[in-house]
């Protein structure tokens, strides 16, 4: 779906943008990357502070509007079951520790077998895809590892859950260590008893032989 939404820009658009580059000389752009959305050329300019800006073929700032995105979605082979301008995080597009979630974005849920989700950044034109496997992985691996479920994000809920789990793990470790030492002690005692019986048996055999 991502490739279908991107499309191929006309070579003439690239030339027009190159002609506009001299006008960008006074800006603080340090990097330019070319791309397209629905076959329309754009460039992604990175500033010195790390922020990025989408530029049109004339070199002017150009944010994707909803009409452009919906026009591109109309060319897909599947329908759209949901389209929203998302200003808050959801369960699959969210911040974690140092990683921030880009907002706002257009969230698109496609009407395919996997209910594929697309998160389209209007400021850069970037597209993030979340399919059925990604959603399953979110709950079975990432969620269980990070414990970043929505109901646990508020403090001190997350802290209390982590403390409880760590206490449980510590208890299991202590119990396992105690059982191991107990087993070693029993084996040691059993070994000593067997050795004592062996010595007694050997002594009795020697006594019988001497008689």
pTM exceeding the 0.85 threshold for the entire prediction: no
pLDDT tens for the chain, 211 residues long, are 888 999 888 888 888 888 887 776 656 788 889 889 999 999 998 888 888 889 998 888 899 999 999 999 999 999 999 999 999 988 888 887 767 888 999 999 999 999 999 999 999 999 999 999 988 887 887 656 666 666 566 667 666 766 777 888 888 888 888 888 888 888 888 888 888 788 777 777 766 666 6
Close Cβ partners of 131 (under 8 Å, ≥ 6 residues apart):
114, 116, 117
pLDDT score of 27: 67
b or e along 96-134 (b: 16 or more beta carbons within 10 Å of the residue's beta carbon)? eeeeeeeeebbbbebeeeeebbbbbbbbbbbbbebbeee
Residue 131 backbone class (left: φ over 0; alpha: ψ -120 to 50; beta: rest): beta
């Amino acid at each position: 779906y991502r490739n279908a939404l991107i499309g191929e820009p006309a070579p003439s658009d690239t030339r027009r943008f190159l002609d506009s580059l001299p006008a960008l000389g006074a800006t603080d752009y340090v990097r330019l990357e070319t791309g397209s959305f629905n076959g329309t050329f754009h460039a992604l300019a990175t500033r010195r502070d790390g922020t990025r800006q989408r530029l049109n073929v004339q070199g002017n700032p150009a944010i994707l509007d909803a009409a452009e995105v919906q026009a591109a979605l109309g060319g897909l082979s599947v329908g759209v079951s949901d389209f929203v301008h998302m200003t808050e995080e959801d369960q699959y597009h969210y911040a974690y520790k140092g990683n921030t979630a880009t907002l706002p974005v257009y969230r698109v849920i496609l009407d395919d077998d996997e209910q594929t989700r697309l998160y389209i950044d209007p400021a850069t034109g970037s597209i993030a895809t979340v399919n059925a496997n990604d959603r399953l992985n979110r709950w079975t691996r990432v969620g269980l590892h990070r414990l970043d479920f929505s109901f646990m994000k508020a403090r001190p809920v997350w802290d209390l859950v982590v403390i409880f789990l760590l206490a449980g793990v510590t208890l299991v470790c202590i119990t396992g260590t105690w059982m191991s030492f107990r087993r070693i002690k029993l084996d040691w005692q059993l070994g000593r008893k067997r050795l004592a019986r062996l010595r007694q048996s050997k002594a009795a055999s020697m006594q019988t032989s001497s008689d």
